[in-house]
Chains A and B, each alone.
Chain A
């Protein structure tokens, strides 16, 4: 793994407007969902960067904003040193395609992200048609190469998605993403809908592909045990903000933010004799429409009172060895 940065995100903000209902009247914006609020991070070449958090914390919104699937409200995203929103805004079709080729997305639900009326061959070869990087006569050879790569057989090419199991479909999605030889692959909960035994197969496949091609991954998940297994660095999100970024080992062995600590202690461990003291968080995640003031975690945090977290918003601060934390308690001492 090099220290070269492939993707840099600066002050990314993504707000979704809530409009009033109405067919005849003009729609008015009545509120804003603060999905992602001022997030900055960088991803190094060849690493797996994990994005962790509970549902609704803005993991997927961040990923979609990076790929410009939902244009960010504000902030800058640099991919290989180039500001991507400038490329997308230029409406230069060739440039956009070039950029899209380098960044690919594997969606959470393999049942919904494959066109049911296309055969596997059509699905995987569609990128060749769009990007024209593989000449027509070599298309089929590449197709079989890709199928082999993800552990499928040649005869699968003529089948339709409904003939496959969830694990196999996810393999097809990965093959489709790899068809354009991307530099960055965003995997959005790629194993969430799969069974345990199949989950292990897909995780191993992702690791093998990374070793072979040096692809950079952004791995999004709410399942911390798979994150620990596959990621090099992990960022923990809560209500649209990063609360902690660290190397995987450091994060799991010595989490600093109270939310990370609670999150880690909440994971059930498959060992009945492991009696850890569990931190059970009170209450639920607040609404991102009106996020709490100050530190967004303060209504559920046991340290909030003594550190005036209601008023002061903590900043992400480096506490050494690339371990960043946004917490008033940690930052003060």
Chain B
């Protein structure tokens, strides 16, 4: 039996209508999140990872607009919900952790107020009870002296601490799905290790599903069960974490992995990806990676390659993927 999906996105299209033209930030993204898994969403800045996450909650900032597609959460299409219904889902069913903890906390309210607001928004509890729960949440995210710290204001706390609080706030209503948008990008490595460890434990404890958006291949490798690689608004490769790292088939995934310096292994020279990320107002025709791809052929510019299942649970959007797979098998032998 196939594992149950908690979220299924079909052909999501989100455009930004700017004065310079229409920015095709997300252009036909389909993905699914299974119950209890961590799905990694990887790509460089501007590849549409964050916009995909924001689209799920329908909080894409203006001038962005969701143009088409379906977002099925537990079988229901979120794009057909009314604003009131969406407010019941945001925070309670699907929670969001933003990239910058410093800016996602209100500087003029104490942490206690901000946590209690979320709790009382979704659950009928008294103030005292809400406070008690907030303190419990503080314990959950392993903050020392919760009874005292909870009355602090955001400016009194360090970056790592703020990120813990943002996590606590996201977990306050026991969501089924957590969207973590680069949760550790602004933190130091030792603090990053703490936060990742914490998130992993909490996910197990509460049985949530998670979408982890990140540009750091290392972070994703340690956290995700399956990985979606995004490039210029489209998904170019989907597979289990092990598959993606041991047998990347899309040329972009390969290039991305080769461009990362590895602490465990010294490389003589880093491989570079030619050129820069394309302008999404007028993206390249066909496969959007073809102008930078070392393996591009004439057909690449002609048609958009669909995501094709090359081996079990491994989808690649590249017309030469089968060829690469044969090469890989030959080398393995």
- Chain A: residues with CB nearer than 8 A to chain B? 54-55, 165, 167, 195-201, 203-204, 207, 222, 224-226, 228-229, 249, 252, 262-274, 278, 280-281, 284-285
- Find chain B residues with CB under 8 A from A267 CB: 189, 218, 263
- Find chain A residues with CB under 8 A from B272 CB: 197, 200-201, 204
B4 within 8 A of A: no
Task: Identify the interface centre among B45, B160, B255, B270: most chain A CB within 10 Å of its CB.
Answer: B270
Contacting residue for A197 out of B160, B222, B259, CB 8 A? B259
Minimal beta-carbon separation of A225 from chain B (angstroms) = 4
Query: How long is the Cα–Cα vector from A270 to B273 in the complex, in angstroms?
Result: 18
- Find chain A residues with CB under 8 A from B242 CB: 272-273
- A200-B272, A278-B197, A281-B190 known; 7 new pairs, CB 8 Å cut-off, are A196-B259, A197-B255, A197-B273, A200-B270, A207-B269, A266-B189, A269-B222
User: In the bound complex, do residue A225 and residue B259 qualify as a contact, i.e. CB atoms below 8 Å apart?
Assistant: no
User: In the bound complex, do residue B259 and residue A266 qualify as a contact, i.e. CB atoms below 8 Å apart?
Assistant: no
Contacting residue for B270 out of A229, A263, A281, CB 8 A? A229
- Find chain A residues with CB under 8 A from B264 CB: 269, 271, 274
Which 6 pairs between the two chains have the least Cβ-Cβ distance?
A268-B218, A266-B193, A200-B270, A270-B217, A229-B261, A197-B273
User: In the bound complex, do residue A269 and residue B218 qualify as a contact, i.e. CB atoms below 8 Å apart?
Assistant: yes
Minimal beta-carbon separation of B284 from chain A (angstroms) = 16
B285 within 8 A of A: no
- Find chain A residues with CB under 8 A from B246 CB: 273
Minimal beta-carbon separation of A253 from chain B (angstroms) = 10
- Find chain A residues with CB under 8 A from B173 CB: none
Interface size class of B (residues with CB under 8 A): 35 or more
- Find chain A residues with CB under 8 A from B216 CB: 268
B3-20 residues with Cβ-Cβ distance < 8 A to A are none
Contacting residue for A278 out of B193, B217, B262, B269, CB 8 A? B193
B192 within 8 A of A: yes
User: In the bound complex, do residue A204 and residue B270 qualify as a contact, i.e. CB atoms below 8 Å apart?
Assistant: yes
User: In the bound complex, do residue A228 and residue B190 qualify as a contact, i.e. CB atoms below 8 Å apart?
Assistant: no
Minimal beta-carbon separation of A59 from chain B (angstroms) = 12
Contacting residue for B263 out of A200, A252, A278, A284, CB 8 A? A252
- Find chain B residues with CB under 8 A from A229 CB: 261, 266-267, 270
B219 within 8 A of A: yes
Question: Which B-chain residue is minimally distant from A199 (CB atoms)?
Answer: B259
B325 within 8 A of A: no
Question: Which B-chain residue is minimally distant from A224 (CB atoms)?
Answer: B263
Query: How long is the Cα–Cα vector from A225 to B158 in the complex, in angstroms?
Result: 25
- Find chain B residues with CB under 8 A from A271 CB: 221, 245, 264
B188-210 residues with Cβ-Cβ distance < 8 A to A are 188-194, 196-197
B141-184 residues with Cβ-Cβ distance < 8 A to A are 158, 160-161
B271 within 8 A of A: yes
B31 within 8 A of A: no
- Find chain A residues with CB under 8 A from B256 CB: 196-197
Minimal beta-carbon separation of B255 from chain A (angstroms) = 7
- Find chain B residues with CB under 8 A from A284 CB: 158, 160-161, 191
30 A-B residue pairs with Cβ-Cβ distance under 8 Å, sorted by A, are: A54-B190, A195-B277, A196-B256, A196-B259, A197-B256, A200-B261, A200-B271, A200-B272, A200-B273, A204-B270, A222-B189, A224-B189, A225-B261, A228-B261, A229-B267, A262-B190, A263-B190, A265-B193, A268-B222, A269-B221, A269-B262, A269-B263, A270-B218, A270-B245, A270-B260, A270-B262, A271-B245, A271-B264, A274-B264, A284-B160
User: In the bound complex, do residue B222 and residue A272 qualify as a contact, i.e. CB atoms below 8 Å apart?
Assistant: yes
- Find chain B residues with CB under 8 A from A262 CB: 190
Question: Which A-chain residue is minimally distant from B267 (CB atoms)?
Answer: A229
Query: How long is the Cα–Cα vector from A281 to B219 in the complex, in angstroms?
Result: 17
User: In the bound complex, do residue B262 and residue A55 qualify as a contact, i.e. CB atoms below 8 Å apart?
Assistant: no
B276 within 8 A of A: yes
B241 within 8 A of A: yes
- Find chain B residues with CB under 8 A from A54 CB: 188-191
- Find chain A residues with CB under 8 A from B24 CB: none
Query: How long is the Cα–Cα vector from A195 to B217 in the complex, in angstroms?
Result: 12
